Chains A and B, each alone.
Chain A
Amino acid sequence: MIIEVLFPEVCNLYGDLGNIEYISRSLEASGETCEVINTDLYTRPAFADRDDIDLIYMGPVTEKGQVRVIESLKPYKDRLMQMIEGGQRFFMTGNAMEVFGKYIECEEGGPRIECLGIFPFMTKQRMMNRTSSFWVGQYGETDVVGYKSQFTHIYPEDTGSFKSLFKTEKGEGINPGFKDEGIREAGFAGTYLLGPLFVLNPVLMKEYLAEMGYKDIKPLYEETAVEAYNKRLAEYREPGRSYKY
């Protein structure tokens, strides 16, 4: 497998690069090879010239870093659109997906940051209003757990046609008024869930890799990972537990 990690020098908050480490080490332990290409800000991404990248990954970033990510990706907007239409796999965590929307509104009526404009949603950023919660829901039939901690929420232009990545069982969706979590457009997936998500959800990782053609990959230290996952699932489902904190 070949994974291109976009801008790991800034898109690395909340331990989320643990996702890539867990995927690549699990693949290798299962006898597959995994090449990770790290692409820096303001440099030419590998995806611009190659068609053999299995997964493009980007993690959570600071607000200043997010502006630099947009600047770095803008020259490749057409290529990104063409790849998304062609079914290229992307996985975005935290606020990374926001750069693919139309714009970020920094405060009520305040300045706007123009984004790539690939998907019809906008983002509201409220720096004095950080929200944190935990979340439980499903990817298809598979139970998923994760944390959320953010200053921002995305708002689709047309909620009716918006495709979510996960169904919410308990927790907040992509914004306080929208039930489900994440975005899925063909091979493009984005979610606010942190964890790192694939470490917290070995079952999800297995399923996601299988969708990409890597069947029967055993998550590293699967027994402990699944035990931790089951414990967390049970805790989050406890009736008395509120999900917001």
Chain B
Amino acid sequence: MKGLRFCLALWLAKLSIPALKLTKHNATDYPGHLAIKICPDFLDKIDKPELVIAVTGTNGKTTCTNMICDAFEAAGRKVLCNRYGSNINSGVSTCLISGSTLTGKCKYDTAILETDERSAPRIYPYLKPDYIVVTNLFRDSIMRNAHPEYIQWIINKGVPENSKLVINGDDLISCGIAPGNKHIYYGIGQIASDTTEEVNRLVDLRVCPECGRKLVFDYRRYHHIGRAHCPECGFKSPDYDYEGHDIDKAAGTVQVTDKEGTRAYKIANDSLFNIYNTVMTVALMRDLGFSADEVQSLMDKVKIPATRFSRVAAGPCTVTTQLAKEMNALAVTRATDYIRHQEGHKRLFLLLSCYKVAKNWSENMGWLYDCDFEMMNDPLIDTSVVTGPRALDFKLRLLLAGVPEEKILCIEDEREAARQMDIAPGDSIYIYCGMVEGFGVVDDCRKIITERCEALGGKEQA
């Protein structure tokens, strides 16, 4: 018996969903919040699907959750997923509420749940995931996340002893999560662009987690991602269970080797970050017992969600919206590294002023000095538009990064900046957008820029 309190919580929460939808309120968080308020151990008591997979980490949680969900749906499973919803305990509860009958029975066989890393102690002990997938741990919002060692510590407070962890073996910070649990390591073996030098400003792990002496990187992909060892105490990166290699961008595949052999899998996007996500999805599915043949055909149906990265042709130009979490030096660095390696001339429009919070306070902008804005000092990047309440901070940072002043357009009003930026036929315009949901400003700026491109007339040259 789950008790009267639980039933009351479930019914009231369920009743609130249509009411919230009717009044156009966000129904992905409140019902769970209400249920927990009425019944504090609600998340513990509610029925869960047979297989529960939680996804966490600093960057790429939403993308990974979506990719895993795509794969399971393609496999014909009934999947409960918070892909459009909140990822804290109330959001996860809401998702489970929406998947349960009025008697509290779960209608799904599989749950794939994105979970906020700081909410781990409030979710994992009750959700008891069979698998916890960790994308990576990097510095994030200074206010909320402090530093990745703190996030590692806080996740460790919540991991149940029977959860298996699927971990990026190229990220030695993630590798330190729940050391007593079963770890399944995925990664990408050495590739031509790896170096042994430090090429990024942001490196969250330079010393051995065991003894504090300087780590030696056998090779480094970016930031602290790569393989390393400690000459002092012998600590080293783990061996892979699933190793990605031989990335073929033209064919759109990556080979993955596991204990049964090697197979080529389709990649959803050719950025390294997303290839990691592909290898992770393969590792998880294979560990769950899907055959290589099955996974190969499932991966054909896996996509990157459009809100993360979307490109439209506009007259003789292209306009790309690139989600790059603001306050997150890693996300902006990775996005820029990808963009600068694309062919042709580019213009960048940075909407990264932390709009959600700017009215009440100002987020710590220290992250700008962890972020490689030096990458924007590139002969093929013709303009960088800095705008919003923190435009001047961005301008100073770009100047310090060596970007010539004549290539920087600094206008505080975002829509005005969109109206004034230089646009020419053949341009590739990249809008860096720091938030997922609109706040009007992203949509408005994109609309202004797209219409201006279309007004130039003519078709985009392929």
A220 to B357 Cα, complex, angstroms: 29
Tell me which of B143, B149, B361, B369 contacts A64 (CB under 8 A): B149
What chain B residues lie within 8 Å of A10 (beta carbons)? Answer: 206-207, 212
The answer to whether A224 and B213 touch (CB under 8 A), given A15-B368, A64-B149, is no
Whether B146 and A149, one on each chain, are in contact in the complex, defined by CB atoms closer than 8 angstroms, is yes
A71 to B392 Cα, complex, angstroms: 41
* Interfacial residues of chain B within 117-142, with CB under 8 A of chain A in the complex: 139, 142
B-side interface mostly: helix
Report A70 CB to chain B, min CB distance, Å: 11
Tell me which of A13, A62, A130 contacts B143 (CB under 8 A): A130
The answer to whether A25 has its CB under 8 Å from any CB of chain B is yes
Whether A132 and B214, one on each chain, are in contact in the complex, defined by CB atoms closer than 8 angstroms, is no
What chain A residues lie within 8 Å of B400 (beta carbons)? Answer: 21-22, 25, 220-221
* Interfacial residues of chain B within 57-75, with CB under 8 A of chain A in the complex: none
Whether B212 and A242, one on each chain, are in contact in the complex, defined by CB atoms closer than 8 angstroms, is no
Whether A16 and B366, one on each chain, are in contact in the complex, defined by CB atoms closer than 8 angstroms, is yes
Report A217 CB to chain B, min CB distance, Å: 16
Tell me which of A65, A194, A225, A241 contacts B360 (CB under 8 A): A241
How many residues on the A side are at the interface (Cβ–Cβ under 8 A)? 46
The answer to whether A208 has its CB under 8 Å from any CB of chain B is no
Number of A-B contacts (CB under 8 A): 111
How many residues on the B side are at the interface (Cβ–Cβ under 8 A)? 33
What chain A residues lie within 8 Å of B361 (beta carbons)? Answer: 134, 241-243, 245
What chain B residues lie within 8 Å of A231 (beta carbons)? Answer: 392
The answer to whether B355 has its CB under 8 Å from any CB of chain A is no
What chain B residues lie within 8 Å of A9 (beta carbons)? Answer: 206-207, 214
Closest to A220 in B: B400
The answer to whether A228 and B213 touch (CB under 8 A), given A149-B364, A242-B360, is no
Tell me which of A13, A22, A68, A227 contacts B147 (CB under 8 A): A13
Closest to A132 in B: B143
What chain A residues lie within 8 Å of B364 (beta carbons)? Answer: 14, 132, 147, 149, 194-195
The answer to whether A114 has its CB under 8 Å from any CB of chain B is no
Tell me which of A62, A63, A194, A221 contacts B399 (CB under 8 A): A221
What chain B residues lie within 8 Å of A25 (beta carbons)? Answer: 400
Interface residues as binary, B52-94 with A (CB distance below 8 Å gives 1, 0 otherwise): 0000000000000000000000000000000000000000000
The answer to whether A40 has its CB under 8 Å from any CB of chain B is yes
Closest to B389 in A: A235
Whether B146 and A130, one on each chain, are in contact in the complex, defined by CB atoms closer than 8 angstroms, is yes
* Interfacial residues of chain A within 2-27, with CB under 8 A of chain B in the complex: 9-10, 13-18, 21-22, 25
Closest to A61 in B: B147
What chain B residues lie within 8 Å of A220 (beta carbons)? Answer: 399-400
Report B19 CB to chain A, min CB distance, Å: 31
A132 to B393 Cα, complex, angstroms: 19
What chain B residues lie within 8 Å of A200 (beta carbons)? Answer: 365
10 contacts between A and B (CB under 8 A): A9-B206, A15-B368, A127-B153, A147-B365, A147-B366, A149-B364, A220-B399, A221-B399, A225-B396, A245-B361
